[in-house]
Amino acid sequence: MAVTLMSVGEKRTVTRLRGKDEVVRHLQDLGFAPGSEVQVIGENAAGMILLVKDVRIALDRGLAGKIMVA
């Protein structure tokens, strides 16, 4: 499932990243590598605040939807 379907406070593990090579590389540079744990800190209609590797990152829903978790 995509990160956008997670609830605030929920933790899951990244399984894969979708999108073009540039998008996947950008997400990996931010810390969203397969196997890393991600937690939703907050969300609104425009985007989400995620915690990955002890760093808070704000992403819009389009980009967050490319992160698949289990």
Q: What are the pLDDT digits (tens) for 25-50?
A: 999 999 999 999 999 999 999 999 99
Check residue 40 and give its pLDDT. 98
pLDDT (average), residues 53-64? 97
* CA dihedral over 51, 43, 30, 2, signed as positive or negative: positive
Residue 44 CA to residue 60 CA, distance in Å, equals 10
Average pLDDT, the chain: 97
Supply the pTM of this predicted model.
0.94
